[in-house]
Chain A
Amino acid sequence: MITAPTPANEDDRLSALRQLLILDTPPEERFDRIAAFAADEFDVPIAVVSLVDSERTWFKSHCGLDVCEAPRDISFCGHAIMSDEPFIIPDATLDARFADNPHVALEPHVRFYAGACLKLHGGQNVGTLCLFDFKPREMDRVALAILGTLRDLVVEQLLLKTAQP
C-alpha cells in the first residue's frame, strides 16, 4: 500500500479548510441532498462529501456509510486531492496503491473509487465528492461530467457562509 502523500501547499490547504468553519459541524440537508443524488445517479452504495484534515478525512455527508471520519493515510481522498483531475480507481484490487489497503483487503472490501476535488478559489483542494462501490466500475465522459457538476454544487455550498433557508 502507498500511503496518501502530502500536497506541497499543505499548510495553505489546511488553513483554507479551517477557514470554512465546517469541520465537525452537524450534518446538513444541503450536502446530504447532493450526496444522495450522487448515490442514486451512479447507482453506488456510498457517496461522500469528504474533507481532508491533517490526520483524518472527515465526512460532511456520508450517504451509505456509518462512520463520519477515517484515517487520512489510508484514505483514497488523500490521494485524490493531489491532482485537480478526477481520481478514478476502477478496481482497487488491481492497483498497487490500494490492493492491500485495509478498506480494500478487509471489510468493506472497496473495489471502485471516483473522487472529484473540492477546489477553492485560492487553488486549495480541501476534499472530494466521492463515490465508492464494492464491485469494479468504469467512468465514461458523461459520468465524469455529472460528477463534476455535482462537485461544483458542493463547492458552491462550502463557500456559502450559512445554509440558505
Chain B
Amino acid sequence: MMDTERASGSVNSAEILLIEHSGMVGNIIVSTARQLGLPHLRLVNNARSARHFLAHQAFVGLIAALDDEEEALELIGNLRKGDYKSAKNTPVAITTAQCSADLANRIKVLGLHRILIKPFKIRDLVTTIETLTDQP
C-alpha cells in the first residue's frame, strides 16, 4: 500500500520506462505505441540512464533489455527493494537474446511479468505494453 501511494504521488502521467539498446528498434516501439494510444514510453538505451530516470520519476512499468545483463538485473533488483520512486511491485518485462538456465534462476526471484527473446516482433512488444498496463 505504501509503495502504491508513494508511486502514485509522483506520477505525472502513466509512463513506462523502456531500455532498448538499438535506437532504431526503440524508436519503432515508441512511435508505434504512440500511434496506438498506449501509455507514453520513456526510451533510454542503457541501464545507467534508466537508473537516473527511476531515481527521479515513478513509472507504471519497466521493459528492460538485458544487453548489459548484470547492470539491468541489479536495477530490477533495486526496483523490487523499493530503492526508486516507482512501486516495488511495478510490472517488469525483459528482452534478452537468450535465456539460459542460470539466467532463468536469477530472474525467477524478480517477479517478472514477461520475457521476450530477441529478435522479437514489435507486435509482441506492443502486447507486452498492454499486458503491463492491464495489471491490477
Q: Tell me, yes or no, whether A141 is within 8 Å of chain B by CB.
A: yes
Q: For chain A, give the interface size range.
A: 10 to 19
State A82–B8 Cα separation when bound (angstroms).
48
Q: Tell me, yes or no, whether A99 is within 8 Å of chain B by CB.
A: no
Contacts of B35 in A (CB 8 A): 145, 148-149
Q: Tell me, yes or no, whether A146 is within 8 Å of chain B by CB.
A: yes
Q: For chain B, give the interface size range.
A: 10 to 19
Are A145 and B24 in contact, with the CB atoms below 8 A? Answer: no
Write 7 A-B pairs (CB below 8 A) sorted by A numbering.
A37-B28, A145-B32, A145-B126, A146-B123, A149-B28, A149-B32, A153-B28
Q: Whole-angstrom distance from the CB of A73 to the nearest CB of chain B? A: 33
Q: Whole-angstrom distance from the CB of B35 to the nearest CB of chain A? A: 4
With both beta carbons as reference points, the residue of chain B lying nearest to A43 in the complex is identified as B121
Given A41-B122, A142-B123, A142-B126, check contact A33 B24 (CB 8 Å): yes
With both beta carbons as reference points, the residue of chain A lying nearest to B38 in the complex is identified as A145
Are B119 and A40 in contact, with the CB atoms below 8 A? Answer: yes
State A56–B119 Cα separation when bound (angstroms).
35
Mask of A2-35 contacts with B, CB within 8 angstroms, 1/0: 0000000000000000000000000000000100
Contacts of B121 in A (CB 8 A): 41
Mask of B37-58 contacts with A, CB within 8 angstroms, 1/0: 0000000000000000000000
Q: Whole-angstrom distance from the CB of B51 to the nearest CB of chain A? A: 28
Q: Tell me, yes or no, whether B36 is within 8 Å of chain A by CB.
A: yes
Contacts of A40 in B (CB 8 A): 119
With both beta carbons as reference points, the residue of chain A lying nearest to B35 in the complex is identified as A145
State A148–B24 Cα separation when bound (angstroms).
14
Q: Tell me, yes or no, whether A69 is within 8 Å of chain B by CB.
A: no
Are A41 and B31 in contact, with the CB atoms below 8 A? Answer: no
